Amino acid sequence: MDGSVVKRIACIGSGNVASSLLPALYGAGYKIVQVCSRNLQTAQQLAKVVGATSTDKLTDINPNVDIYIIAVPDDEIENVLRKTTFGDGIVVHTSGSTPMGIFAKRDIPHYGVFYPLQVFTRHSVNFMRVPLYVEASDSIAMDELLFMARKLSVEVYKITSEKRMLLHIAAVFACNFSNHLLTIAARLLHDEELSYLSLKPLIKETFERAMQVDNPEQLQTGPAARGDSKIVNHHIEALAGYPLTQQIYKLISESIMGKELDAKNVEL
Amino acid sequence: MDGSVVKRIACIGSGNVASSLLPALYGAGYKIVQVCSRNLQTAQQLAKVVGATSTDKLTDINPNVDIYIIAVPDDEIENVLRKTTFGDGIVVHTSGSTPMGIFAKRDIPHYGVFYPLQVFTRHSVNFMRVPLYVEASDSIAMDELLFMARKLSVEVYKITSEKRMLLHIAAVFACNFSNHLLTIAARLLHDEELSYLSLKPLIKETFERAMQVDNPEQLQTGPAARGDSKIVNHHIEALAGYPLTQQIYKLISESIMGKELDAKNVEL
């Protein structure tokens, strides 16, 4: 590993992860050689930002790069691997839940996973605070990926595929699912001709408090946390017009009331 | 309604709502006469802050006040009403989900509901931005409660018991349930010996974005939002050790995938 040699990168994918990751790598001194995407327009746009060439053909992938980054939706990684002939560079994907084993049956000498734990949108993210989780097939790949990760972020961890998936699941609960609960709240209010905006002070307070603790359980409030099953039942009745939302209300209330702990205890 | 007459208030309850509301009313120029709570110690502490007397006996409630505020858990309101002899003042509770009808069978001339939509903890809250929802038995009570609400907050609304409960349910989803999802995430990470702290940048980003839009649905990301049922199923399998959490994962994913909309369409 010689810091004075500029490493060359090709990227397959031009979506949110690629659009955040490539400019950060470019800024960290990497040479972005090529962006490949079936959406040629976004590939061209991103390539322009990082001084790369662009293509929409997997068969045109440059064979002379050090690291190939596959930043596509999980269910397309397999397809990309099947159609691409890589050079000798390290091949990584950026997925939370696809096992590294997906590379094993391919004729790829060095491979790994480079998983950034963040919600990426097209706007820029300060990568220095994004936790990066790295897995690799061997020490050569691991050294290269750790070096790259540490160029980008102060939070770099090695992780197994199994733990990475659990981390992704935790992120789905904390981020994707929380956002959906806000959506449910907005939908209920909309149907009653009430304003979602009035909830914002409450949402702000909730999450500012959650950011200040190590375990959000200690902040739990509400009817279920108080064990007020009368109110819980009133709410469940009031949601009769929303059968799925009603089920979600019921299950989360049970979970707050500690039923999960019982279930786990039974199994242990 | 004469602004020059100092109105007198007695409060039953010395918990989080009372501890936030009474100092705000005191600051707005109301005379807090009495704090009554079965927990005499917290009643005394709160009474001292707002210059009131304290008692732990409902039979000692002062008969000469303008407004009685019942700020106790929902399932104790009935009990308070049964045991207390009020004077001629307006009697209100502060609950989101208890109908105003709870007062109807009592011999109380004027009554209502005064519901602040906020998470109250013992620390002080800037009441000026807390939405206040008011309901009243008659125009005399309504005028008095609206006057009081507008002394405290710039966001004051009239609302029916039915809509107030839906508002409370929306708040439970957005606040209580979101916090529980963070708790589930923290629990999963803890069991994998991973740090909840690494999730914080993600949580921060999620909620800062949610504060900036009118409908959080437009921000929805993640495997379910992408329709990636392969990853969704992998996650469900990985949660086999957490049956209730697994069910929650499944239902919220279905809800994100729009099953609720189908269910509602069938019913309409």
Measured in angstroms, the CA of A231 and the nearest CA of chain B are apart by 7
Interface test with B, best of A207, A218, A229, A256 (most B CBs within 10 A): A207
Across the A:B interface, residue pairs with CB atoms under 8 Å apart total: 315
- Ordered DSSP codes for A112-131: EEEEE-S---SS---GGGS-
In the predicted structure, residue A192 carries a pLDDT above the cut 70:
yes
Whose tokens are 């990082």? That residue is: A50
Q: Look up the pTM and report it.
A: 0.89
Closest-CA residue of chain B to A199: B171
Out of A136, A159, A182, a domain closes at A159
Q: Are A32 and A155 found together in one domain?
A: yes
Contact between B196 and A215 using a beta-carbon 8 Å cutoff? yes
Q: How confident is the model at residue B126 (pLDDT cuts 50, 70, 90)?
A: confident
Measured in angstroms, the CA of A4 and the nearest CA of chain B are apart by 31
Closest-CA residue of chain B to A222: B176
Measured in angstroms, the CA of A140 and the nearest CA of chain B are apart by 25
Q: Are B99 and B38 found together in one domain?
A: yes
Q: Are A153 and A78 found together in one domain?
A: yes
Q: What residues form DSSP beta bridges with B127?
A: none
Tell me which amino acid residue A119 is.
Answer: V
Whose tokens are 């662009």? That residue is: A54
CA A193 – CA B170 distance, rounded (Å): 13
Quick: pLDDT tens for A36-86.
Answer: 999 999 999 999 999 999 999 999 999 999 999 999 999 999 999 999 999
CA A129 – CA A152 distance, rounded (Å): 9
Token couple for B37: 């709570």
Contact between A97 and B223 using a beta-carbon 8 Å cutoff? yes
Interface test with A, best of B207, B229, B233 (most A CBs within 10 A): B207
Measured in angstroms, the CA of B64 and the nearest CA of chain A are apart by 32
| pLDDT at residue number A122 | 56
Token couple for A179: 């956002």
In the predicted structure, residue B79 carries a pLDDT above the cut 80:
yes
Backbone angles phi, psi at B222, to 5 degrees: 110, 170
Is there a domain that residue A2 lies in? no
Provide, as residue numbers in chain A, all residues whose Cβ is less than 8 Å from the Cβ of B230.
Answer: 74-75
Instruction: Report whether A202 contacts B233 (CB < 8 A).
Output: no
Provide, as residue numbers in chain B, all residues whose Cβ is less than 8 Å from the Cβ of A152.
Answer: none
Is there a domain that residue B3 lies in? no
Q: How big is chain A by its Cα radius of gyration, in Å? A: 23
Provide, as residue numbers in chain A, all residues whose Cβ is less than 8 Å from the Cβ of B191.
Answer: 166
Whose tokens are 């000798």? That residue is: A88
Q: How confident is the model at residue A260 (pLDDT cuts 50, 70, 90)?
A: low
Interface test with B, best of A78, A95, A182 (most B CBs within 10 A): A182
Q: Output B202 or B147, whichever has higher pLDDT.
A: B147
Strands (E), chain B: 8-12, 31-36, 53-55, 67-70, 90-93, 111-116, 132-136, 156-158
Interface test with B, best of A72, A159, A178 (most B CBs within 10 A): A178
Q: Output A209 or A263, whichever has higher pLDDT.
A: A209
- With CA atoms as reference, report the closest residue to B96 among B172, B175, B174: B172
| pLDDT at residue number A244 | 96
Instruction: Report whether A111 contacts A138 (CB < 8 A).
Output: no
In the predicted structure, residue B37 carries a pLDDT above the cut 50:
yes
Contact between B216 and A179 using a beta-carbon 8 Å cutoff? yes
In the predicted structure, residue B101 carries a pLDDT above the cut 60:
yes
Contact between A263 and B244 using a beta-carbon 8 Å cutoff? yes
A33: DSSP letter: E
Q: Are A139 and A177 found together in one domain?
A: no
Q: Which of A68-77, A176-185, B1-10 has the lowest mean pLDDT?
A: B1-10
Q: Name the residue range of residue B193's domain.
A: 164-267
Q: Are B242 and B174 found together in one domain?
A: yes
Mean pLDDT of A78-98: 96
Nearest neighbour of B167 by CB, restricted to A177, A194, A220: A194
Contact between A166 and B189 using a beta-carbon 8 Å cutoff? yes
- 10 Å Cβ neighbour count for A39? 13
In the predicted structure, residue A264 carries a pLDDT above the cut 50:
no
Whose tokens are 């209300």? That residue is: A249
Q: Are B131 and B260 found together in one domain?
A: no
Nearest neighbour of A203 by CB, restricted to B169, B175, B201: B175
Cα angle A250, B134, B3; round to 5: 155
Q: Are A147 and A229 found together in one domain?
A: no
Q: Are A131 and A18 found together in one domain?
A: yes
Q: Are A85 and A14 found together in one domain?
A: yes
CA B118 – CA B114 distance, rounded (Å): 12
Is there a domain that residue A51 lies in? yes
- 10 Å Cβ neighbour count for A150? 14
Q: Are A57 and A84 found together in one domain?
A: yes
**Percentage with pLDDT > 90 across chain B:** 84
Q: How big is chain B by its Cα radius of gyration, in Å? A: 23
Measured in angstroms, the CA of A33 and the nearest CA of chain B are apart by 29
Which CATH number covers residue A140?
A: 3.40.50.720
Q: Are A201 and A231 found together in one domain?
A: yes
Nearest neighbour of A174 by CB, restricted to B191, B202, B220: B202
Instruction: Report whether B151 contacts B127 (CB < 8 A).
Output: no
Quick: pLDDT tens for B185-224.
Answer: 999 999 999 999 989 989 998 999 999 999 999 999 999 9
Is there a domain that residue B64 lies in? yes
Tell me which amino acid residue B205 is.
Answer: E
Is there a domain that residue A76 lies in? yes
Instruction: Report whether B67 contacts B148 (CB < 8 A).
Output: yes
Q: Are B44 and B123 found together in one domain?
A: yes
Dihedral over alpha carbons A14, A20, A24, A25 (to 10 degrees): -30
Which residues lie below 8 Å from residue A225, measured CB to CB, with a gap of 6+? Answer: A256, B176
CA B48 – CA B53 distance, rounded (Å): 8
Cα angle B115, B118, B124; round to 5: 110
CA B151 – CA B148 distance, rounded (Å): 5
Tell how strand A156-158 and strand A132-136 pair up. Answer: parallel
Longest dimension (CA), chain A: 68
Nearest neighbour of B177 by CB, restricted to A205, A228, A252: A252
Contact between A216 and B179 using a beta-carbon 8 Å cutoff? yes
CA B19 – CA A119 distance, rounded (Å): 38
Contact between B182 and A196 using a beta-carbon 8 Å cutoff? no
Mean pLDDT of B58-62: 96
CA B137 – CA B69 distance, rounded (Å): 15
- With CA atoms as reference, report the closest residue to B30 among B71, B66, B82, B81: B66
Is there a domain that residue A132 lies in? yes
Provide, as residue numbers in chain B, all residues whose Cβ is less than 8 Å from the Cβ of A207.
Answer: 178, 203-204, 207
In the predicted structure, residue A3 carries a pLDDT above the cut 90:
no
Is there a domain that residue A202 lies in? yes
In the predicted structure, residue B10 carries a pLDDT above the cut 70:
yes
Out of A144, A159, A174, a domain closes at A159
Mean pLDDT of chain B: 92
Q: Is A56 in a helix, a strand, or coil?
A: coil
CA A252 – CA A103 distance, rounded (Å): 38
Contact between A174 and B163 using a beta-carbon 8 Å cutoff? no
Contact between A182 and B197 using a beta-carbon 8 Å cutoff? no
Closest-CA residue of chain A to B249: A173
Is there a domain that residue B15 lies in? yes
**Helical segments of chain A, H only:** 16-27, 40-50, 74-83, 139-152, 161-171, 178-191, 200-211, 223-226, 229-238, 243-256, 259-267
Dihedral over alpha carbons A214, A219, A220, A222 (to 10 degrees): -160
Nearest neighbour of A174 by CB, restricted to B173, B182, B230: B182
| pLDDT at residue number A5 | 84
- With CA atoms as reference, report the closest residue to B134 among B171, B166, B108, B96: B96
Strand ranges across the sheet with B53-55: B53-55, B31-36, B8-12, B67-70, B90-93, B111-116, B132-136, B156-158
Out of B136, B159, B182, a domain closes at B159
Q: How many domains does chain A have?
A: 2
Closest-CA residue of chain B to A255: B244
Which CATH number covers residue A214?
A: 1.10.1040.20
Measured in angstroms, the CA of A111 and the nearest CA of chain B are apart by 21
Closest-CA residue of chain B to A162: B238
| pLDDT at residue number B266 | 38
